[in-house]
Structure 1
Amino acid sequence: MSYTLKELNYWNEKIESKVGEYGLNCYPQEFDIIDYNDMLSYQVYLGMSSMYPHWSFGKSYDKLKTLYKYNLVGLPYEMVVNSNPCTAYLLKENSLLMQILTMAHVYGHNDFFKNNRVFKENTEAELTLEKFKIHSDRIRKYVNEVGYEEVEKLLDRIHSIKLNIDLLKFLKENGQLLTWEKEIIGIIIEESSYFIPQLETKIMNEGWASFWHYRILNELEIPQGMYVEFLTRHNAVIAPSKEKINPYYLGFKIFVDLEKRYGMERIFEVRAVERDESFIRRYLTEELCEDMKLFQYRTDDKNFIIEEVWFEDGCKAIKDTLCKNLGLNSIPCIKVKGERNGKLILEHVYDGRELELNYAGETLKNLVYMWKEKITLKTQLNGKAIEVICSKEGEISYV
């Protein structure tokens, strides 16, 4: 490390002082400094120090380690856990300036976790770490009692629809499941519910943290030798991408614009009550679309065709497309329509986006494994109503 713990404590105290001056309302903050192997592990396990065993975590670890080895991806500078106290992991290899910037960024996340209504209504930060530890212990208990293979099979099936929480709840309450199977489904429902607020507020959360690390470091009186690195690092974090929307960039630009137009009090109000979809619809203005030169395109064989640009009515179309792909809007909405003689009928809420039928069929097989009877999924393909049917034996057919 090119810095000492005494230096980190010094800068952390200065940052905390600025946090208090600006009125950020945070949980007590704790930092752990870890190396890149540990950061890979925490990234795979979503920041949780205790997670249940499953092969997919090992697969993700090997993939990330390979990508990192060949410089195809970079490691996160930090990871922050929505808990009370708030836990954050800092990468040991960071420079001193990067640690200072990262700590300021973390306090932005901390404030967002504590005060945004999506988190306040759907998570209990005081119980986070304890709850995940209890869940891990329970699943390990069932591994010992019924065998790793049986538990893993069930987890494989649950993972395929873990964000379709209403459908999982229906299976738990109405399916022909053993007690241990119902409890594991309940565990995944709780853990998925914990992470959904992060999916629903990614742009706001990262934009808010970026807004505050930029504001705080500009007033910290960091040494002149660090200032160029600060600007370089900050600009890298919020740099627009040529291929997709950078949530740090988009969120930062909107919060800066809001503070400029309405003042500091308004951005705290927005932070408290919005989620990404409402944030985009209400505060991504035509002027911002023009400033960021946003456009919408589609592919036609090997060609890219621009469909919408920021001027005229393009901004509304761009916002609609953005919102359609935010958070839970990015996954198919599947509803339970009824049950006949044990046979389950599901319906895909069609919004212009068709299901990939191979994936739909494989997912139905996973559901049949838990439901143990025939399942029919109603959807649309090429403008016509169709049914994807999975028999009790796991055979797929289309009507």
Structure 2
Amino acid sequence: MTKRPASPLLFSGSDWNFATLSRTYEAIETIALEELQLDVYPNQIEIISSEQMLDAYSSVGMPLMYQHWSFGKRFVFEDHLYRKGLRGLAYELVINSNPCISYLMEENTMAIQALVTAHAAFGHNHFFKNNYLFRQWTDANAILGYMEFAKKYVTKCEERHGTAAVEEILDSAHAIMDQGVFRYRRPPRLSSEKERERARERLEYEEQTYNDLWRTLPSSTDASDEDGASKAERDAAERKKALNLPEENLLYFLEKNSLILEPWQREILRIVRVIAQYFYPQRQTKVMNEGCATFVHYFIMNRLYDQGKINEGTMLEVLQSHSNVVFQPDFDDPRFSGINPYALGFALMQDIERIATEPTAEDRDWFPDLAGSGDWRATLIDAWANHRDESFILQYLSPALIRKFRLFLLSDRAGDNFCEVTSIHNERGYEAVRTALARNYETGANLPDIQVVDVDLLGNRHLRLAHYIKNGVLLEEEKRDATLRHVRRLWGYDVSLAGVDAATGETRYERSTAQLSE
């Protein structure tokens, strides 16, 4: 009896086990490292249930996260939609850490497990390890240890000071989390456990130091004296200089300078600030990150099919999932909610491959160095390492892709009661459309620019913030006032916010917590 030859297929059917996952992972790894020349952290793959995935969803994508009532509220909301069939779940979740942790849902079929392994464990993994923003602004080696410390620290605070007291601080810290990042200067690296212990000791010392600082303020009688007033003004100027004003990182300023916060409260503000900083690069690279991972999984799954390691049924399931991910509704489609980052990112990566291998005359005019070079891998590796969304779109969005997406530019001026189409996908509009789309992904242009600009050290300790208004876009009044209350809770004294036109310097409005309490 002749022995039946072993099947070249990695798997068949939808069922999976850990041996199948391991065999498929090795085949994917070979293509990723040898053909795509990816450079990745060691991988750690975990299988979780849909409920665990919902839990991770609810806690800002971090399974190792401290408890807060808002996470439970979001869990109930997401779980309700999921059980009703109104919303699906991500097939995977990936953590920017070393080792890189990819969470796969146990409900996935084997085809989807292979797809998301290529997507997360190699696509996202490579991007996290190599992109300059992640290399400069995050510490993949320390984040898991820090999150474990943060979770335990918050739990201990709840046991010692009560859940209500801890949640009050977290509520206020979360309210200004978007204003709790360093955008223009590099934050300090996460420390080891011993260094964190020393940091907590320094916090206690700093609080005593700041209390001593405020106690040295001249009395009112000293201030009325001519010479005394002059000295007081000099002292105030020196203290303002010591506070490094203006300060863009509001959480950092409050953590270091608030007089009412106890050491444990300062540490909680620091925890929230570190987490906000950890996610900051992801906000600047959504299109590139998802585009990279989608391009990688598409390339790898097609190569597995070409090698005869997956069959037609598996490939059809993969393509169906892939098509759903990169689907881009038209602007007049009821499903349209903006440009799909998966669709735009994947299209940009594919377009680079096309320009490098099959350029048109138009491509040679727009991309003389890339067109016809044939080395699309090196171009992608370089782009993934050295760009963020804004610069990547500005450099690589081609006229062909602008026409494919049928992009156009609307002018919506505040003084007009109509919108005007100022540029379309034609020869005259390509540059304007590309520039406008790139600007749309500039994080600094889309988040309010709010800075600490002054503190009344000589009087009532009034904290003054400035909102630099761009393009006439004001803050929503209800949310603005609610956020000011949170800032006051952390500062302990009155806080005011002045809206200043970034172009002219004109003050458009001013709002203070004293007005809110009237």
Same fold (TM over 0.5): yes
Greater mean alpha carbon deviation, residues 260-269 or residues 19-28: 260-269
Distance 1:326 1:229 in 2: 36
Cross-structure match for 2:295: 211
- Does residue 403 of structure 2 align to residue 287 of structure 1? no
Instruction: Indicate conservation of the 8 Å contact 2:54/2:75, yes or no.
Output: yes
- Which residue does 1:45 correspond to in 2? 59
Q: Give the deviation of 1:70 after TM superposition.
A: 2.4
Q: Residue 237 of structure 1 contacts residue 248 of structure 1 at CA under 8 Å; is this kept in 2?
A: yes
3-state SS in 1 of match to 2:177:
coil
Match status 1:253 vs 2:347: yes
Map residues 1-399 of structure 1 onto 2, 5 A cutoff.
2-21=15-34, 22-106=36-120, 107-165=122-180, 166-176=249-259, 177-221=261-305, 222-242=310-330, 243=336, 244-261=338-355, 262=370, 263-296=376-409, 307=421, 308-311=423-426, 312-313=428-429, 316-317=432-433, 319-320=435-436, 323-324=439-440, 326-327=442-443, 329-340=445-456, 341=459, 342-352=461-471, 353-379=473-499, 385-391=507-513, 394-395=516-517
Give the letter aligned to residue 387 of structure 1.
Answer: Y
Q: How far apart are residue 190 of structure 1 and its match?
A: 0.8
Query: TM-score, normalization: structure 1?
Result: 0.92
Aligned residue for 2:511, secondary structure, equals strand
- CA–CA separation in structure 2 for the residues paired with 1:247 and 1:315: 20
CA drift of 1:4 comes to 2.1
Match of 1:163, SS state, is: helix
Q: Counting strand residues as a fraction of each chain, which structure ranks higher?
A: 1
Q: For residues 320 and 121 of structure 1, what CA distance do their matches in structure 2 show?
A: 27
Matches of 2:167 and 2:144, distance apart in 1: 23
Cα distance change of structure 1 residues 139 and 329 upon mapping to structure 2, 3 Å threshold? farther
Measured in 2, the distance between the counterparts of 1:213 and 1:241 equals: 22
Root-mean-square deviation (CA, aligned residues, Å) is 2.3
CA displacement at 1:287 relative to structure 2: 2.7
Q: Give the Cα–Cα distance (whole angstroms) in 2 for the partners of residues 172 and 59 of structure 1.
A: 27
Helix, strand or coil at the partner of 2:304: coil
Amino acid at match of 1:240: Q
Segments of 5+ residues of structure 2 without an aligned counterpart are: 1-13, 181-248, 331-335, 356-369, 371-375
Could you tell me the percent identity over the aligned residues?
33
Counterpart of 1:390, as a letter, is S
Cα deviation for residue 323 of structure 1 reads 2.8
* 1:325-378 deviation line (CA, Å, top 9, x unaligned): 554543211011112231111111211122111111111111011111122211
CA–CA distance in structure 2, aligned partners of residues 333 and 295 of structure 1: 28
Larger radius of gyration: 2
Alignment TM-score, normalising by the size of structure 2: 0.72
Cα distance in structure 2, aligned partners of 1:232 and 1:195: 30
TM-superposed deviation, 1:122: 1.1
Structure 1 residues without counterparts, runs of 5 or longer: none
TM-superposition CA deviations, 1:153-186 (whole Å, max 9, x none) = 1110110111212111111122112211111111
Change in Cα spacing, 1:313 to 1:378, as seen in structure 2 (3 Å) is farther
**CA–CA distance in structure 2, aligned partners of residues 362 and 335 of structure 1:** 17
Residue identity opposite 1:16 in structure 2: E
Sort the Cα spacing of 1:350 and 1:285 in 2 relative to 1 into closer, same or farther, 3 A: farther
